[in-house]
Structure 1
């Protein structure tokens, strides 16, 4: 029996749905990069130190990382439209609270709430899109548009952040979400249709709570260790708590019938190696980009607006190169493309570790571009490798775990590289020398991981499938359009 032809009305409703979901993801990705440009102004106006800036970034990324998998299951169980619009409301309200924050503590609390909203909004937006496009070819095109349009947020963030902060101060970078959120809510209420997956698994509440707690305890120790002293009882206690909570998390996940993180997947070497490398990608990319604007403002003495423009080579390179990463991996294999990408990014970071206050921008931009190109060559192939390591029914879950491991790496990168800078300063070094050490450390770790993937990352066995995939990982689907295991997954750049 032939499939019915799509009517003009259905095409129109799909166009509206695509617009709404793309704008939602655009708002989330814009917020990822727009904050970096405003960090120097936040430090000045909130009278905070480097530790405070680390919390502003990591409070958001931590919640996104730990709630992303559960957000997809929640959307499938309770309604994708409902969860998506709830995420929009939470994210928008949190953005307003951030803009009104009178102190660092209130701003961090607002960022936590933003992270919760993003963890609901992003996977639900992709789940809505997949459910509305059951035909594989249409689905691939829709996800490609979703990934491409929303990726513009990455490139627009530094420029928008520099312009808004320079003109109105850092609160303006959060207020820009208010009109976007209002439009999404009004249009979404009228045009989106509710869909759900009645066979979605139960939400792993114990696993979710323990994952937030153990990563949170570890992050606290890494961020606060430089200020309180690495041997202080509070810091040692936080590391001990993180270890105990991690043990409890692994024990709970091993016993649950439907865990958020099935440990059996890590028996596959390809899955384990790809996710290990993805942690390093998040670590080095987010940890280093946290300092880009600070380098231009504090070391080279440029304005916030100019600093935002000067960081553009990273995000532009990622937007331009990412769509081709999957095709290159399909042709040459995961191992070759990922290893070359990591090596290029690592060399770019090492080169950034040699720039100084008097280094001209002509000697800086290509270093930033190398970092962006290198990491953009790794993310899609690493996710593709993780998906290939599991059964087709678990492709969405594998994609989600890959996104989560990268976010965990991002949390640790901001915390640990910040600790490197602070420790160097406490030893009498300048902020510039501390930044050089952090970039060199990130580059060394990335190069070591390039050698690791060169030795252990298997070549793609099914290159043709990867070539068809969009830049953002494509989840596997079940008959009703829900993602595998009910988990709608998206990649949220650190």
Structure 2
């Protein structure tokens, strides 16, 4: 078999492992909460610890890979990710788990940064690369499709720890293929690493997410939250200044003068910060509100995931025939419409109230994933493909991390307001109790929270908490749909076909 196919297999297996881990974790969260005594905030950090370290380091990982060798970096990423997965499985408490998730993000950063570059170096632009990206997109579809089922089955039968143990043999197989079959490549012009940019960006992003996650508990006007927001703003501004002045920036701002480059980053951010970030809250609805088991929740995700799987290869074929901006626009409109269709959940609804939205959103995800992957590396010179892939993955992961934090803040804030409104004039509406009830309903610990209340107040508190949960969920689904539709408009406006390399390499 030709080397390019081995490369595509190795990249696809690694991508499968990364995305499987994300989708598998989704349905295991309530079980993790019960076993480790995790709070609602802890559950947010299970995702954000991973996404933050990945987002903060993926650009540096791309630069290091271009300099030290992409195959070597890819192998190192596999080792770190698999080792951290083992630590996650052995976690005795939420802090240990979330620190291990952050280490996973380091390994994930390296693999994400290098994956598309490895594919791009083996497959020439045009129809051949489009087909490869179709396979890559199908891999994403498979991981998303089977992830909830595997996660649910493992969690129900063996325990949530096995969702992390699973990564160890998969990582070992990918590592073997990497060393035996992949070719090494570098950017001959790669130079110094922009460490100052790394520190400013990662610290600023961490402070931003921390402020969003803690805002409801601490008070949005408190000195701590205002200080965190101010620190994040200063550090991110410093990051921009650094990138404008250093000779070899981790994020070359000049690339954003190319409209197609900017457009594809905004498209990646839009889908990640909307639907992908909201999967966390949809899972909490399916399991903690409707009372489904992890496996049953995974089954309910099949409509969105299976449709994404079948649409992705078709999108790969269409890449060389249909303008990328049109595919991005249609896909993001479908994702946005899907969330708008989901966002009117009523107390008497079953999971089928989400079904139409799942189908429409799944088709949109399947359409845009291969397009984003292809355009991200096709709007820059081939030798900068590692950096381009890193920038695109940064926008994806920043979208997920910030999206989870923003939606969590709005979700809890809106739900708290609803509880206070419904329980006005009773002790339930006083102090921090409304917020605590919403967080308990979200994390699956509502029975324990109700047990701490006087017997006569429990029924009213349960009704108010469940109503507040739905109010918050419907609002974030609505706003997530709006974000996706705005992304569709920006992609249609910015992405231009004449800025994308579509020429077949001859000879």
TM-score for both structures, normalised by structure 2: 0.81
**Aligned partners of 2:383, 2:6: CA distance in 1, in Å?**
29
Find the counterpart in structure 2 of residue 461 from structure 1.
498
1:418-455 alpha-carbon deviations (Å, 9 max, x no partner): 1111112332152222211111121233234444555x
Whether the 8 Å contact between 1:300 and 1:358 is mirrored in structure 2 is no
Q: CA deviation at 1:50?
A: 2.0
Q: CA deviation at 1:143?
A: 5.5
Whether the 8 Å contact between 1:342 and 1:446 is mirrored in structure 2 is yes
Instruction: Determine if the alignment matches structure 1 residue 60 to structure 2 residue 24.
Output: no
Q: CA deviation at 1:194?
A: 4.8
Find the counterpart in structure 2 of residue 254 from structure 1.
244
Instruction: Determine if the alignment matches structure 1 residue 437 to structure 2 residue 427.
Output: no
**Aligned partners of 1:278, 1:85: CA distance in 2, in Å?**
26
Find the counterpart in structure 1 of residue 29 from structure 2.
39
Query: 3-state DSSP class of the match of 1:38?
Result: helix
Query: Residues 130 and 367 of structure 1: is their aligned pair in 2 closer, same or farther, counting only changes over 3 Å?
Result: closer
Q: CA deviation at 1:195?
A: 4.5
Task: Please give the residue correspondences for 1:387-398 in structure 2 after superposition, counting only pairs within 5 Å.
Answer: 394=384, 397-398=387-388
Q: CA deviation at 1:197?
A: 4.2
**Aligned partners of 1:135, 1:302: CA distance in 2, in Å?**
46
Find the counterpart in structure 2 of residue 104 from structure 1.
94
1:287-339 alpha-carbon deviations (Å, 9 max, x no partner): 21112221111222211110011112222222222333355565553443333
Query: Residues 461 and 108 of structure 1: is their aligned pair in 2 closer, same or farther, counting only changes over 3 Å?
Result: same
Moved more, 43-52 or 217-226: 43-52
Instruction: Determine if the alignment matches structure 1 residue 318 to structure 2 residue 356.
Output: no
Which residue among 25, 32, 44 is the counterpart of 2:15?
Answer: 25
**Aligned partners of 2:61, 2:201: CA distance in 1, in Å?**
14
Task: Please give the residue correspondences for 1:57-206 in structure 2 after superposition, counting only pairs within 5 Å.
Answer: 57-128=47-118, 144-149=134-139, 151-186=141-176, 188-189=178-179, 194-206=184-196
Task: Please give the residue correspondences for 1:318-467 in structure 2 after superposition, counting only pairs within 5 Å.
Answer: 318-325=308-315, 328=318, 331-382=321-372, 394=384, 397-427=387-417, 428=419, 430-453=468-491, 456-461=493-498, 465=502
Find the counterpart in structure 1 of residue 425 from structure 2.
none
Query: 3-state DSSP class of the match of 1:302?
Result: coil
Q: CA deviation at 1:376?
A: 3.4
Mind listing any 5+ residue stretches in structure 1 that lack a counterpart? 1-10, 469-476, 478-494
1:215-240 alpha-carbon deviations (Å, 9 max, x no partner): 11111111111222212222111111
Moved more, 293-302 or 98-107: 293-302
Query: 3-state DSSP class of the match of 1:298?
Result: helix
Whether the 8 Å contact between 1:23 and 1:150 is mirrored in structure 2 is no
Q: CA deviation at 1:106?
A: 0.5
Find the counterpart in structure 2 of residue 485 from structure 1.
none
Moved more, 101-110 or 232-241: 232-241
Whether the 8 Å contact between 2:120 and 2:385 is mirrored in structure 1 is no
1:27-62 alpha-carbon deviations (Å, 9 max, x no partner): 112112111111121222222222111110011111
1:218-275 alpha-carbon deviations (Å, 9 max, x no partner): 1111111122221222211111110011011001100122212111222344433443
Q: CA deviation at 1:166?
A: 1.1
**Aligned partners of 1:82, 1:336: CA distance in 2, in Å?**
37
Query: Residues 457 and 285 of structure 1: is their aligned pair in 2 closer, same or farther, counting only changes over 3 Å?
Result: same
Query: Residues 206 and 315 of structure 1: is their aligned pair in 2 closer, same or farther, counting only changes over 3 Å?
Result: farther
**Aligned partners of 2:15, 2:285: CA distance in 1, in Å?**
29
* Superposed CA RMSD: 3.1
Whether the 8 Å contact between 1:330 and 1:460 is mirrored in structure 2 is no
**Aligned partners of 1:323, 1:341: CA distance in 2, in Å?**
14
Whether the 8 Å contact between 1:334 and 1:457 is mirrored in structure 2 is no
Query: Residues 79 and 351 of structure 1: is their aligned pair in 2 closer, same or farther, counting only changes over 3 Å?
Result: same
Query: Residues 190 and 334 of structure 1: is their aligned pair in 2 closer, same or farther, counting only changes over 3 Å?
Result: closer
Which residue among 39, 54, 60 is the counterpart of 1:49?
Answer: 39
1:434-481 alpha-carbon deviations (Å, 9 max, x no partner): 211111121233234444555x33553378929x9xxxxxxxx9xxxx
Q: CA deviation at 1:382?
A: 5.0
Query: Residues 26 and 144 of structure 1: is their aligned pair in 2 closer, same or farther, counting only changes over 3 Å?
Result: same
Aligned length: 457
Whether the 8 Å contact between 1:342 and 1:449 is mirrored in structure 2 is yes
